[in-house]
Amino acid sequence: MIKVGIIGVSGYAGAELLRLLLNHDEVKVVSIEARSYQGQPISDLYPSFYQVCDMICESDEDVLQKAELIFASLPHGLSEKYAKYCDENNKKFIDLGADFRLDSEQDYQEWYKLDYHEKALHDKQVYGLSEVNREKIKTATLIGNPGCYPTSITLGLYPLLKEKLNLNKHIIIDSKSGTTGAGKSLSEDTHFPKCNESFHPYKLGTHRHTPEIEQELSKMANDDIQVTFTPHLLPVNRGIVSTIYVDLKPEVSLDDVYQIYQNYYSQEYFVRVLPKGKIADLKFVKYSNFCDISLHLDERYHRLIIVSTIDNMVKGAAGQAIQNMNIMYGLEETKGLKMVPPSF
């Protein structure tokens, strides 16, 4: 039984971690932390846990002492000290925040306005995109869990870039997310009167996931990939739809692309390449760890349109973190994650 602790359980991703881990038969959640709710049961904050899990929120020191694997679901800039403790005490650490996603400190400084304080730790970090970095994850002790937008985008593009089917290095990405992606802190954009019955882009050209997306796509392509990434806020609780536009090489057909995606993902339980003619829809991945991908061709310009959908709280956060845990411990990768999305 893996003794697990969660630091930051009061946030949406932290609460989702707890919800999913309670159904994992190889895990015992031994301690949870929520600084603003210390001494209170988690069911006071999230009534859905009432009489299912009434664990008391403890201190971060309690979590670090009691658990052998620590999940941190915190704002950027707060995870390094916990990762350092785990590194020094032979514990595993999975960070759902942004502190261990970027290879370059310069990128972190530019986009997050912070420095790396424990620089040696970043040589040990493994980017936790489960389907792509599985072999590295198996032996890792420090995982930087991918962002939600990057997960939908990188899985959507991986086979195409790996096989160099793209005509040029610039890719246009149009992504839409439910409001949970913004976290619990209320902002003008997520305030109900503003976001209800609304749909709008935000952080045009400045979203912090941009360097992460370019970093991982460039690795896949073994070339310098640039993206124009525009996120939008959907008036729904959860889910991401990424629509990706790529010019194909003239000799590459949609049938070629479809076959390559099938070859790459046919053995991947959580990535579903939909039949030709079907369109991926966030409704049918909600509450699940699936990434649904559909492939389409704009024949006028020989441009591939990829639609990639995930639940931002599961495959885009807590579910992928648990998938990474399963890989790290040599468990069946789907354990605790085989929930079927609702049909309506």
Q: Which of 19, 58, 56 shows the shortest CA–CA distance to 41?
A: 56
* Domain covering 2-145+315-328 in this structure, CATH number: 3.40.50.720
**C-alpha span between 55 and 57 (Å, rounded):** 6
pLDDT of residue 186: 61
Strand order in the sheet with 142-144: 57-58, 27-33, 2-7, 69-72, 92-95, 142-144, 126-127
Q: 141-172 pLDDT, tens per residue?
A: 999 999 999 999 999 999 999 999 999 999 99
**C-alpha span between 210 and 218 (Å, rounded):** 12
Top CATH class of 149-312 equals alpha beta
Catalytic residue among 53, 57, 86, 148: 148
Half-sphere exposure at residue 294, Cβ-oriented, CA atoms within 13 angstroms: 16
Q: Which two tokens stand for residue 334?
A: 């789907």
Q: 101 with 147: CB under 8 angstroms? A: yes
Q: Which of 325, 327, 332 shows the shortest CA–CA distance to 4?
A: 325
pLDDT of residue 184: 67
Residue 260 CA from chain centroid, whole number: 24
| CATH 3.40.50.720 domain span(s) along the chain | 2-145+315-328
Residue ranges, the chain, pLDDT below 70? 184-186, 191
| CATH 3.30.360.10 domain span(s) along the chain | 149-312
**C-alpha span between 232 and 202 (Å, rounded):** 6
Query: Where do the DSSP E strands lie in the chain?
Result: 2-7, 27-33, 57-58, 69-72, 92-95, 126-127, 142-144, 170-177, 200-201, 226-233, 240-247, 271-273, 291-298, 303-310
Residue 240 CA from chain centroid, whole number: 11
Inter-axis angle of helices 148-162 and 210-221, to 10 degrees?
A: 20
Alpha helices, DSSP H, located in 208-301: 210-221, 254-265
Whether 291 is catalytic: no
**C-alpha span between 222 and 235 (Å, rounded):** 37
**C-alpha span between 39 and 49 (Å, rounded):** 16
pLDDT of residue 190: 73
pLDDT of residue 185: 67
Report angle CA 142, 145, 151 to the nearest 5 degrees.
150
Q: 147 with 317: CB under 8 angstroms? A: no
